[in-house]
Amino acid sequence: MNTELLKKHVKSYLSYSKKEPEKFREDMKERGELIAYYQSFTHDKILKMDEEDIYEYISKLWAMLIWGNKHYVVDKIIEENGLENFKKRLARLIWGDENISVRWDNFRGNIKGMGPAMISEILCKTHPDDFMLWNRRAYVGLNYLNVKNLPRYDYQLTGKVYENLCNVCKEISTELKNSGFEDNNLLAVDYFIWEELQVEDNLSKIFVKETKTTKVVETEITEAAEFVHDDIRDKLRDIGQWLGFTASIERKVSEGSKVDTIWESTIGNMGRVIYVFEVQTKGSIDSLILNLLKSLNNPAVQGIVAVSDNNQLERIKKHAADVRELRDKLKYWDYEEVSRIHESLEFVNASINNLGLVPEGF
């Protein structure tokens, strides 16, 4: 991390705090209220939550601003994970005894529909001295400070990576403390990142497609494959939902074919149209081919898409070329492109929802 650049912005932040003392008092009060709210959910209280409690708990998150219908998102989380299972996993994530890297990986590996932004926000607001809040803005700010090996995509954010990011933000916290800031926990660091480190040039570059000369930090595939699969599967569902489809994950579309994600639309009184997506990160390509073939037994399936990295997509193309029923129908989508599209649509939806044009209860 560029410590001189950090000190420069801490100094600027300090100057700003003296010019706008009322704003800083309001921000500190807001942080205190957020922390008090999330800390009130003890281990036992989480285990006793009902569906409405979970809705209130999750809907307050900043990460939920991208969704106009928050009930839809929370209902999906409960439906896809099971109420009791979700509460037990959440309680272990927040109050468990294991190292945070273990708890993080366990939660992400077993709970669908919640990404790093939501998970880290809950952790940060419950344990602000220990855990940082990770989102697009945090990436921009830390990248501006020249922090190395940042995860560009959600699937790269394993428990070990998150633990390292928390340590980086603790360095920023120490610099704030040394400069005289009374409130210097990692939630306060998040406010600092938003106020000082959202450099316009960096914000604009975040949507630029990476070139071959730009090295993307990759986690070992053996460690990250499951995260890649689940992350991309869930992002495909989100994209479909934002585009107006009825989207779901792990759906049976025909006998013997359960697919990762589907987009579904009803056309008047003519019936349904279904688009099928299968994500491949490891395992047998023959199994993927067979599953997609079986999905075509459903006459409503009008499009099938294989989603993977460039190398595996080439292998899938070679396998599909020998299957007459598949070779002219199968489409291919690079999962990094899926991540970029999701990120762009996420930004658009958050901006529009902030306008409050359509009340959630409409």
How would you class 224 by CB atoms within 10 Å of its CB: exposed for 0-12, middle for 13-18, buried for 19 or more? Answer: buried
* Residue 239 to residue 249: CA distance in whole angstroms: 12
Contact 158/104 with Cβ under 8 angstroms?
A: yes
Domain boundary assignment for the chain: 3-205, 221-344
**CA within 13 Å, CB half, 201:** 2
pLDDT tens string for the chain (362 positions)?
Answer: 999 999 999 999 999 999 999 999 999 999 999 999 999 999 999 999 999 999 999 999 999 988 878 898 999 899 989 999 999 999 999 999 999 999 999 999 899 889 999 999 999 999 999 999 999 899 999 999 999 999 988 888 999 999 999 999 999 999 999 999 999 999 999 999 999 998 754 544 544 444 443 344 344 444 566 668 888 999 999 999 889 899 999 888 888 788 999 999 988 776 789 999 999 988 788 888 988 999 999 989 999 999 998 889 999 999 888 888 888 889 999 988 998 899 888 888 878 877 777 665 54
Does this model's pTM top 0.75? My answer is yes
Tokens of 330: 């199968």
Q: Which two tokens stand for residue 137?
A: 């803005």
> CA 158 to CA 102: how far, in whole Å?
9
CATH of the domain spanning 221-344: 3.40.1350
Contacts of 134 (CB under 8 A, 6+ apart): 116, 117, 120, 157, 162, 165
Tokens of residue 153, six digits: 């995509």
CB-based contacts of 310-314 (< 8 A; 24+ apart in sequence): 310/334, 312/280, 312/281, 312/285
Residues with Cβ within 8 Å of residue 331, at least 6 apart in sequence: 303, 304, 305, 306
Nearest to 49 by CA among 89, 4, 9: 89
Q: Cα 261 vs. chain centroid, distance in angstroms?
A: 17
Give the β-pairing of 330-334 and 246-254: unpaired
CA nearest to 119, candidates 161, 84, 148: 161
Q: List strand residue ranges (DSSP E) for the chain, in order.
A: 246-254, 257-267, 271-279, 301-308, 330-334
Specify the DSSP class assigned to residue 270. Answer: T
